[in-house]
């Protein structure tokens, strides 16, 4: 069989700042941030019940979303009523159902559907640990509802700075990954 | 629509929208249960979503095909019958089925329904296809991915049934519909449960030096840092056997037969199909747009070859192949 080798995906940069001063500041501020993120998650569950229904048995499970280049990680529990988001240190012990790690821009693009999850997996730019079915359910649920991760993690109206930042990062990840000149 | 119908996958309403907006003539989808061969968590359509999908697609002159293409289990056949009823009630253009019982039910309960024979039926000869046409009224056959282009030409000339062929996406090395590899280790199979490697049976073991994908605890490969990987299936695993450590069945590669579109059209292929309902809207947007451009180029008398490299980074294991269409093996 004729086989053609194609370009490999870029290796994910591992430039986390988990021990830097920004991490400490974010971690100290985690209380109000968690309240706002949790409120946003519950608001979205009211607006998009279909997305949460797609999670099936994983509604309320805890997912660790760990950007490799961000000072903190997030524990997301997407329950339609008791949904919750916690800010945690990236290396904190995780007892949830699945852990997804990749550069922040890739994670954002993955969940808003602008990055192909399988291609990211083939090129190993994303790592998934734990229950693979749960991770698939979360990705499929968010994508099918045409939600963005920034929707799920975003602060409510008025927080344009963070939302804008997340959107800009997602745009970066949308840059074509096809070979040059194609 | 061009000279060849472009049939694209939709694992969700968002993916259906993306496929049609990118140029698909038809989309195929499944209901959210084990009646379709992509029964993954969070994927597929419920009844209301299917109704809306057919309406949305119809408003854009696109067709929705519903895959009810797993094999019904004894004592549970009502689930497959209910799926057929739902697809017909939604106004789907066609039902894609493989199981003789499902085909018979659709024929008897809904004689007006258009039936396509799924690749899962593994019909790869004219007499077999003719049997399905005469017995169940099948109007189109989706060919297994084990035929060469000349074989398809011979087959298409011998049957009046429309021929649909895969041109992009995951490859199956088995004669589809008859694979029991994953059921040996996980208890679930693609043909009965709709999953090759059930996600709950997949784990990845990481060390500083290696990544080891496991299926129900069995290592199916061992990868060095940065090595591209494929789906963690037994058929694409790397094993120690016959005196060598290599892929025993098939390497993790993706099918890309864009360069064979002209040959397939000449061979009498009516529709070309993209695999990948599990992949998402980013994937289907790019693949549908590329094949739309290729078919349109072909219809203008131009060579679509320059478009062939557009999709390389989507390939499993980072590699593409023309699959059996240019095979030198039997």
Specify burial of residue B117 (Cβ count, 10 A radius: 0-12, 13-18, 19+).
buried
- Its pTM stands at 0.84
Does pLDDT of B47 surpass 80?
yes
Mean pLDDT of A32-49: 84
Scan for tokens 């339609």, then name that residue: A80
CB contact A133 to B (< 8 Å) = yes
Query: What is the distance between the alpha carbons of residues B187 and A41, in angstroms, rounded to a whole number?
Result: 36
Q: What is the pLDDT of residue B328?
A: 53
Question: Can you give the pLDDT at residue B304?
Answer: 87
pLDDT in tens, B55-76: 999 999 999 999 999 999 889 9
The arithmetic mean of pLDDT across residues B182-197, rounded, is 81
Structure tokens at B222: 């061992």
Tokens encoding A138 = 């979360």
- Judged by a CB distance cut-off of 8 A, whether residue A66 touches chain B is no
> Does A124 contact B228 at a Cβ distance shorter than 8 Å?
yes
- Mutation target vs A (from B41, B48, B257; most A CBs, 10 A cutoff): B41
3-state secondary structure of A58: helix
Query: Kindly report the CA angle at B187 between B184 and B189, in degrees rounded to 5?
Result: 80
**Tokens matching residue B308:** 């062939």
Beta pairing partners, A64: A75, A99
The neighbour count for residue B217, using CB atoms within 10 Å, is 9
Q: Is the pLDDT of residue B174 over 70?
A: no
Q: Is A118 on the interface with B (CB under 8 A)?
A: yes
* Cross-chain CB nearest to B318 (options A5, A116, A128): A5
Measured CA to CA, the distance from residue A101 to residue A71 in angstroms comes to 13
Determine the Cα angle at B143 with ends B137 and B147, to 5°: 145
User: What would the pLDDT profile of B98-149 be if each residue is shown by its tens digit?
Assistant: 999 999 999 999 999 999 999 989 898 999 999 999 999 999 999 988 788 8
Residues 136-165 of A with CB under 8 A from B: 136-141, 143-146
In angstroms, rounded to a whole number, what is the distance separating the alpha carbons of residues B262 and B326?
A: 14
Residue B141 host element (H or E): strand B140-142
The alpha carbon of residue B160 is apart from the nearest alpha carbon of chain A, in Å, by 30
């Amino acid at each position: 069989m004729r086989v053609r080798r194609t370009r490999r995906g870029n290796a994910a940069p591992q430039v986390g700042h988990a021990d830097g001063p920004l991490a400490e500041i974010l971690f100290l501020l985690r209380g109000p941030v968690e309240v706002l993120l949790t409120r946003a998650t519950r608001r979205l569950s009211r607006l998009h019940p279909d997305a949460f229904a797609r999670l099936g048995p994983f509604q309320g499970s805890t997912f660790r979303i760990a950007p490799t280049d961000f000072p903190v990680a997030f524990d997301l529990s997407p329950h339609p009523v008791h949904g919750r988001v916690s800010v945690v240190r990236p290396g904190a012990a995780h007892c949830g159902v699945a852990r997804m790690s990749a550069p922040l821009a890739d994670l954002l693009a993955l969940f808003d559907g602008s990055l192909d999850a399988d291609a990211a997996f083939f090129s190993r730019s994303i790592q998934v640990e734990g229950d693979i079915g749960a991770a698939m359910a979360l990705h499929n649920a968010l994508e099918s509802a045409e939600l963005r991760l920034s929707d799920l993690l975003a602060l409510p109206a008025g927080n344009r700075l963070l939302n804008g930042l997340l959107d800009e990062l997602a745009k970066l990840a949308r840059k074509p990954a096809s070979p040059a000149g194609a | 629509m061009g000279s060849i119908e472009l049939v694209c996958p939709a694992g969700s309403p968002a993916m259906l929208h993306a496929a049609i907006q990118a140029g698909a003539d038809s989309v195929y989808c499944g209901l959210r249960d084990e009646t379709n061969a992509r029964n993954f968590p969070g994927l597929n359509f419920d009844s209301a979503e299917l109704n809306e999908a057919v309406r949305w697609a119809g408003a854009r002159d696109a067709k929705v095909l519903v895959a009810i293409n797993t094999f019904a289990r004894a004592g549970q056949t009502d689930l497959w019958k209910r799926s057929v009823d739902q697809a017909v009630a939604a106004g789907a253009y066609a039902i894609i089925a493989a199981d003789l019982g499902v085909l018979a039910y659709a024929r008897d309960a809904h004689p007006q329904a258009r039936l396509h024979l799924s690749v899962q039926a593994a019909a790869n000869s004219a007499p077999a296809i003719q049997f399905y046409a005469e017995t169940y009224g099948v109007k189109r056959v989706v060919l297994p991915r084990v035929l060469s282009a000349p074989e398809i030409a011979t087959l298409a000339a011998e049957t009046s049934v429309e021929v649909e062929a895969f041109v992009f996406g995951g490859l199956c090395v088995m004669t589809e519909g008859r694979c029991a590899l994953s059921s040996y280790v996980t208890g679930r199979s693609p043909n009965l449960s709709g999953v090759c490697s059930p996600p709950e049976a997949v784990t990845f073991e990481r060390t500083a030096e290696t990544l080891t994908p496991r299926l129900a605890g069995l290592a199916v490969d061992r990868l060095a840092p940065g090595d591209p990987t494929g789906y963690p299936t037994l058929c694409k695993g790397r094993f120690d056997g016959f005196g060598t450590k290599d892929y025993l069945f098939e390497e993790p590669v993706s099918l890309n037969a864009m360069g064979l579109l002209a040959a397939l059209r000449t061979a009498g292929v009516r529709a070309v199909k993209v695999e990948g309902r599990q992949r998402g809207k980013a994937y289907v947007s790019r693949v549908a747009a590329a094949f739309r451009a290729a078919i349109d180029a072909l219809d203008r008398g131009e060579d679509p070859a320059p478009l062939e490299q557009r999709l390389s980074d989507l390939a499993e294991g980072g590699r593409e192949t023309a699959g059996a269409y240019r095979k030198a093996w039997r």
